[in-house]
Amino acid sequence: MWTCLVEVKTAGAPLRAEQVDAYLDIARANTYDGVLTISNDITDGCDRSPLEIDRRKLGPRGLWHLSWWQILTEAIVQHRHHGIEDPDQAWILGELIAYLASEASGAGGFEDMGPHWVAVRDGAPNRALRAGDRGVRDVAMRWDQFVQYLCLGLSQDLGKRVTQVRPRKQDAHARAEAVSRGLANDGVMEATVRVPNAAGDVVLRADLRARVTQVAVKVHAPLEGKPTTRVGWLLRALAGARPDLLVSAHYASARQPITATLAQVRETRTQLNYPQDHKRPPREFTVALVRPMGQKRGRGSGSFVSETRAQLFDFYRDIGQELRRWEAKPPRLPEVLETVSSVPTPDPPPSVAVDAASEVGNAIDVASRTSAGS
């Protein structure tokens, strides 16, 4: 028998560390297998708790966490993309999805950027942020949750597991420290999202000093052709894209890429040429969509959450899912192959012909004498 204690929170009710600690004590006293918490707090895995718990209290027991948004995502992926054969189970799952998707259930996704958002947003342009400030760290941790929320949202629509790219051994607290340093030093929060089989990872960047958000993807340039030919390959891939996209060409040994709008590159492909050497081929291309940053802390119109989410989904719909990795074409045979019989045999030189005739004559003489003697 496997036994687990479950603690559930909905809406804005927070998980409390002292409550979970008490459950762990009960689990240890009764030799239960562990404790599971469910709330609107989003983590990057079911083995990651949003609370700071003394791991020494766990022993052989487990502590797991699921967000309502993760449960809803799994239900949608199974129902919409994988399919449920049993009609009764399919109906029940559909009802569960409808219930969890309703605001009345209290099982929401990412709510807002927190009570310190406005202070951090306004302090970034003035370079007044410190990595150790409580507000900066709170916004950094909410940014990490927000990125997980976006990954799960893409997973719901794509039916594939979308993940955040990060160092393998970096936990949530280490990521919060890294984001806090980025806010304090540059006023920037950045994350990388990976969609299976996409041409490249999607980089999401929020610049609080410039008050803009950028969504970009980097792809390798073709390995064949002139520089303008390689740029033409990218233009064909972006045939239906909006003209205000920023396109950058990266060159080997160059500190900065060459950047222009897609409209400018469409007008003149040489816009992306390397200035000192027009024959130098680009190594990579970056395609980016830049928009004014949402200012509000909540999820409504004009908020950071809603505007950034819309920007990411628009970019992937128009650019991310249309780009393909460049592949070299296989070598081709000639249209008409020459056969061995069609190749003319050259005449031997005169001296070779004379020597061959004399050798044949000698062979005939020897054969005649041998025949007469017998």
Q: For residue 78, what are the contacts with CB-CB under 8 A and spacing of at least 6?
A: 84, 93
Phi, psi of 233 (to 5 degrees): -60, -45
Scanning 30-133, the segments in alpha helix (DSSP H) are 68-76, 87-101, 117-123
In a domain, 155, yes or no: no
In a domain, 328, yes or no: no
What local confidence, expressed as pLDDT, does residue 329 receive?
Answer: 85
- Using 50, 70 and 90 to split pLDDT, how confident is the model at 360? very low
Whole-number Å distance between alpha carbons of 214 and 202: 10
**SS3 of 153, please?**
helix
In a domain, 352, yes or no: no
Residues in the chain: 374
Pick the range with the lowest mean pLDDT from 66-75, 160-169, 284-293.
160-169
In a domain, 350, yes or no: no
* pLDDT, mean of residues 23-47: 92
Q: What's the Cα-to-Cα distance from 354 to each of 122, 269, 313, 349, 360, rounded to whole Å?
A: 102, 67, 85, 9, 10
Pairing of strands 202-207, 188-194: antiparallel
Structure tokens at 117: 């958002």
What local confidence, expressed as pLDDT, does residue 12 receive?
Answer: 82
**Torsion 260-263-267-269 (CA) sign:** positive
Whole-number Å distance between alpha carbons of 169 and 178: 13
In a domain, 214, yes or no: no
* pLDDT, mean of residues 84-112: 92
* Residue 272 DSSP label: G
* pLDDT, mean of residues 200-217: 96
Q: What is the share, in percent, of the chain residues with pLDDT greater than 70?
A: 90
Q: Which comes out higher in pLDDT, residue 45 or 232?
A: 232
Query: Given a cut of 90, is residue 54 above it in pLDDT?
Result: no
Pick the range with the lowest mean pLDDT from 50-54, 60-64, 128-132.
50-54
Query: Given a cut of 70, is residue 338 above it in pLDDT?
Result: no
Contact 171, 144 (CB under 8 A): no
Q: What is the mean pLDDT of the chain?
A: 88
Domain that holds residue 98: 4-105
Q: Which comes out higher in pLDDT, residue 373 or 13?
A: 13
* Residue 279 DSSP label: T
What local confidence, expressed as pLDDT, does residue 374 receive?
Answer: 46
What local confidence, expressed as pLDDT, does residue 127 receive?
Answer: 92
* pLDDT, mean of residues 27-35: 93
Phi/psi region, residue 83 (left: phi>0; alpha: psi -120 to 50; beta: rest), is: left
DSSP 300-329: STTBHHHHHHHHHHHHIIIIITT-----PP
Q: What's the Cα-to-Cα distance from 155 to each of 70, 76, 175, rounded to whole Å?
A: 10, 9, 22
**SS3 of 257, please?**
coil
Number of domains in the chain: 1
Is the pTM higher than 0.75? yes
Question: Per residue in 213-230, pLDDT tens?
Answer: 999 999 999 999 999 999
Pick the range with the lowest mean pLDDT from 175-179, 303-307, 340-344, 364-368.
364-368
Query: Given a cut of 90, is residue 263 above it in pLDDT?
Result: yes
In a domain, 55, yes or no: yes
